[in-house]
Chain A
């Protein structure tokens, strides 16, 4: 107890030096916690966006379906057989059909290629929730009501609710077809995959436009549990029921590349934190070493009073540990507060997504960072551990001073 009291007071003895060492530890622990919270938030964002907006948990689609942006061939459409529908009813929380195509949207003199999403008005919302959608007008319940246009498309084509838009496509048979239809609503979904290019077309209207005769391009499914092993098992079963000419793609497969980049970012962050922590370690080693050199006579006195080498070692180690514990605790507390704030309030990414032109990235424009308590534990342990290790050499040097020399230094 007396050792801890002495160590704590010694740490306060040189406030500036101790504070600088503390700042180094605080910055290191904060980098680890806040950095990983942002990466985890990004990861959750990508996964949630993929599931809620793009594919559901798993999607049944034609074999070798391309995953390039704005490429949706309509030459291998299929129907959902009654047996498959029955199995999907019993095996999923919800499922829906989609007919994806790439029409040219025309309004007046302006035209652009867009992502046509033929959707089943009765089923689609159960798979792709619309909680984050902001709709001016309404979501059409049938082709007679028209289409729902994404905000960026509406802006580029100067479209407003009630305007007429012409959609021109190459049909499933290869012919060119065009239809004029009203704009039932304009949607901002907080997701560039939708906002930058989508036009939602009720299935009956999409079928008419593409002359698809009841065929579709995708069956999207939603499960109660999005866990990877659950989705993998479901995907295997869906593949077995889906037929040889179709393939199953899960949210994991569709986000694989992005999440791999995320893992690399995570490694890079760990390396950066490693460098920061090494700098913290040098700061603490220097602090303890300076303390030892400044207090040679004091060490000699304590040794003369009967303090053993091991106790002097423990005293200086404790000083390093006190710096580590205080610095890590402050770092963890500040970074937890920062992370908690952004967990609730989020960060608006729309400007940076607009600048990057990230049309094909499934990511919500609001990034909510993810608090992971394991990183708080890791950062605290790392901070204290580094401080302890950094103190070992100076502490040993102090412990090994000859008391007869030290006491009269």
Chain B
């Protein structure tokens, strides 16, 4: 079975000369399909850099990153964009919905960009919104939705194209604890029902408690990799 994501001796440096910063140093990691993996660690540990590399938003300085079996090293900006459009979904801390598009249109946008033929895009987007508990809210604009509802739209947008991997960057950080718990429950349900592979970065103990696997980073290195029941 092809790993959803595989990193081999990945190094990522910023700056040059005396000011060089090693954000990641020799990180190797394999994430299998259907896993729910949490990246934990203090600020500056390299979580965001690692998510950027897994999400093909950036490329490593050394080593290799394979997403759904495709090596991203040497890919052009256009090829990386195509890979993101087709195989990767994103959920952001600040939801990052397009404010001038309705909930349904935000979800449809992901389908349009994926480059696949989906049949009736509108019906598919509405069905996806219904599956995240937003039935009947498809015509609302982001500013007409609560934070939790916006994050549900973001989750629907990430999953609607059936990606190999969903990257969630602190998905509960901007939500109150109750809403955060609801969103987390939704993510876990979709992970189990739809078999979607999730990689989350978080500081949130509640998120870590729900994860099957917690990878802890410190100073650009993986310091622990725990499987949980």
Contact = CB atoms under 8 A, between A and B. Distances in A.
Interface stretch (B76-84, B129-137, B145-153, B204-212): B76-84
Given A9-B101, A298-B96, A305 B113 contact: yes
A298 B101 CA distance: 12
A179 interface: no
B49 to A, nearest CB: 9
A305 B82 contact: no
Contacts of B179: none
B98 interface: yes
A43 interface: no
A306 interface: yes
A399 B53 CA distance: 20
A407 B55 CA distance: 12
Given A13-B100, A304-B55, A408 B48 contact: yes
Interface in A281-308: 297-298, 300-308
A397 B100 CA distance: 21
B92 interface: yes
Interface residues of B, number: 33
A6 B77 contact: no
Contacts of B48: 408
A6 B102 CA distance: 11
Nearest to A12: B100
A12 B100 CA distance: 9
A309 B58 contact: no
B174 interface: no
A2 interface: yes
Interface string B63-86: 000000000000001100111111
B114 interface: yes
A298 B55 CA distance: 17
Contacts of B115: 306
A10 B105 CA distance: 14
A403 interface: yes
Interface string B82-115: 1111101010101011111100010011101111
B90 A304 contact: yes
Contacts of A300: 96
B81 A6 contact: no
A76 interface: no
Interface in B30-58: 48, 52, 55, 57-58
A20 interface: no
B58 A404 contact: yes
Contact of B77 (A13, A302, A305, A309): A309
Contact of A301 (B81, B98, B100): B98
B52 A404 contact: yes
A301 B114 CA distance: 14
A9 B105 CA distance: 12
B138 to A, nearest CB: 16
Contacts of A408: 48, 92, 169
Interface string A62-84: 00000000000000000000000
B142 to A, nearest CB: 11
A387 to B, nearest CB: 20
Given A6-B98, A9-B101, A303 B81 contact: yes
Contacts of A302: 98, 109, 113
Contacts of A404: 52, 57-58
B111 to A, nearest CB: 10
Given A2-B112, A306-B114, 12 more contacts: A6-B100, A300-B96, A301-B98, A302-B98, A303-B57, A304-B96, A305-B85, A305-B113, A306-B86, A306-B115, A404-B52, A407-B92
26 contacts: A2-B109, A2-B112, A5-B105, A6-B98, A9-B100, A13-B99, A298-B98, A298-B99, A301-B98, A302-B109, A303-B57, A303-B84, A304-B84, A304-B90, A304-B96, A305-B109, A305-B157, A306-B82, A306-B83, A306-B85, A306-B113, A307-B113, A308-B77, A308-B81, A407-B92, A408-B92
Interface of A: 2, 5-6, 9-10, 12-13, 297-298, 300-310, 402-404, 407-408
